Structure 1
């Protein structure tokens, strides 16, 4: 097995987790498969850099001395939003030579500034998608996915999405078992598929101010298979159905029905990805009642039925 070199770029104002998250994943893979990856870090002049959190990172070398890597990792952080022109020039020259060019969070801004995302589909942290689209109209920005792969270039969303993308690359290189072992050690999901939304329903919706409504949100998340009709939820909140529906939307920014639909879909997706449970059982525990009802929900939201979703996003082998 040929060793793959991973080079992480460091710069002033880098987000530390954008670097250390993926690096820890690749380092874990190298422990399980010795010699699989050689991890290096480099800054423009080889000098230490200060991260956004105040930590100081010491690179292995300068970018001018670094060989062209198999995987070039461009992290985000405040320093990536107005990148040093020398850094942009280096990425413009060396990025196309990398086997795979990967950005985490706002690292996509460096790739865009270098012209490497023109005509490509990409993503970044949700808070900067509009800015990236405005500054680089030649780039097709998709604000929803956890990560996007377009040819040899992969861009990922905010911070921990870099871990998801690194796990996906390791699964591609070394297999699911290795990626799963690393994920378990890091106590994270094996992977969120690239088309998984950056926000779960719980994150996308605002947390309600009033405790009865917060209790309803928790109840929905913990028991997606329960009776989650507006009438049942309103009774739990001790409100009339009409008052409850109006208050829930006002405080969360989402109707009760929409919130329930999102939670049930996410629950079913996790079970399809991470378990061997049958479609009928998943449809029941996720609150759909029947496989046909779940199939309709998946086709409407994702454009694919549950069985096909499982085939695409969960290998046949059971962990």
Structure 2
């Protein structure tokens, strides 16, 4: 039975516990307690989260775990020396070490990321790189696996990380059922971007949200202002005004960003030709897609596809 030691500390962010559900659901799918999860802290006892919830923990006490998983916090600062010492000792005997979100800072303090690639929440990536220059910080990855050390971006990316750990143990077919149970569309590969065009738009009204969902699901269409206005049940003039007020972008610019978002995801997936990506995301042809990628990312689609392929190969090495 793989044992999971989850390292907690005062003020950790409760969202970091959500990814542990992947282990819980894995036990249900397998039909028995395949994973055993233990909450750890420097001295044991109750540990309070940043929002006030309390979690009971056990002390490290020289125990060994198959996987050691360190959680993150909203406010990042130096950790207790005793905690780092216990983490270092426990990690030395573990098969795998992982961190969600800013938990990467604790792994870095323990010297466990020296000379390795790592991910963390994009808002803290620059600080991680500055404080620990020996680490190759990738500020735009969902998660990174370097040897037996795994790190993820913030918040929900931790679910992608734990699903990847389960897949490492039980295989891809098993993890598909677990992901379905968790009501996530699919397990995102580590090489995918942390950023999303839909997140950046953040419309206020249900009407504009509905239009964006329509556009995202119909990228093959021309998606003219008239078509989008009809989906919003507004006149084209009213729709353009409301859309810009809520999103700060014109409909045409937002649609291009949605196309870019979808195209980049398909390229990073690595299974599609450039012609297929251009057709499926509504760019119509490779040249139009190439020009849009150069404007948005400063790189042509071929480079992003190649980088994702190299990243995937190094993850599996």
- Rounded Cα–Cα distance in structure 1 between residues aligned with 2:88 and 2:206: 52
- Rounded Cα–Cα distance in structure 2 between residues aligned with 1:142 and 1:237: 42
| Residue aligning to 1:23 | 20
- Rounded Cα–Cα distance in structure 1 between residues aligned with 2:176 and 2:205: 39
- Rounded Cα–Cα distance in structure 2 between residues aligned with 1:45 and 1:57: 13
1:221 Cα deviation from its structure 2 partner = 2.8
| Residue aligning to 2:237 | 238
Is 1:87 the counterpart of 2:80? The answer is no
Q: Deviations over 1:236-270 (max 9, x none)?
A: 7529xxx99xx96x985778666434422444577
- Rounded Cα–Cα distance in structure 1 between residues aligned with 2:153 and 2:194: 7
- TM-score with structure 1 length normalisation? 0.76
| Residue aligning to 1:116 | 112
Specify every segment of 5 or more residues in structure 1 that has no aligned partner in the other structure, as ranges: 314-319
1:50 Cα deviation from its structure 2 partner = 0.5
Match of 1:202 among 198, 201, 211: 198
Q: Deviations over 1:153-176 (max 9, x none)?
A: 111011211110111121121112
| Residue aligning to 1:317 | none
| Residue aligning to 2:49 | 51
Is 1:97 the counterpart of 2:93? The answer is yes
Match of 1:263 among 258, 265, 269: 258
Is 1:221 the counterpart of 2:223? The answer is no
- TM-score with structure 2 length normalisation? 0.76
Is 1:7 the counterpart of 2:5? The answer is yes
Distance change in 2, residues 1:70/1:214 (3 Å) = closer
| Residue aligning to 2:283 | 288
- Does the 8 Å CA contact 1:213/1:237 hold for their aligned counterparts? no
Distance change in 2, residues 1:48/1:24 (3 Å) = same
* RMSD of Structure 2 on Structure 1 (CA): 3.9
Distance change in 2, residues 1:208/1:23 (3 Å) = closer
Distance change in 2, residues 1:277/1:147 (3 Å) = closer
- Rounded Cα–Cα distance in structure 2 between residues aligned with 1:31 and 1:70: 20
Match of 1:176 among 172, 188, 197: 172
Specify every segment of 5 or more residues in structure 2 that has no aligned partner in the other structure, as ranges: 294-298
Match of 1:166 among 159, 162, 165: 162
- Does the 8 Å CA contact 1:11/1:79 hold for their aligned counterparts? no
1:146 Cα deviation from its structure 2 partner = 0.8
- Rounded Cα–Cα distance in structure 2 between residues aligned with 1:211 and 1:188: 22
- Rounded Cα–Cα distance in structure 2 between residues aligned with 1:210 and 1:65: 54
Q: How does 1:69-88 map to 2 (within 5 A)?
A: 69-78=65-74, 81-88=77-84
| Residue aligning to 1:38 | 36
- Rounded Cα–Cα distance in structure 2 between residues aligned with 1:302 and 1:156: 26
- Rounded Cα–Cα distance in structure 1 between residues aligned with 2:303 and 2:99: 27
Match of 2:61 among 61, 64, 85: 64
| Residue aligning to 1:300 | 300
- Does the 8 Å CA contact 2:267/2:304 hold for their aligned counterparts? no
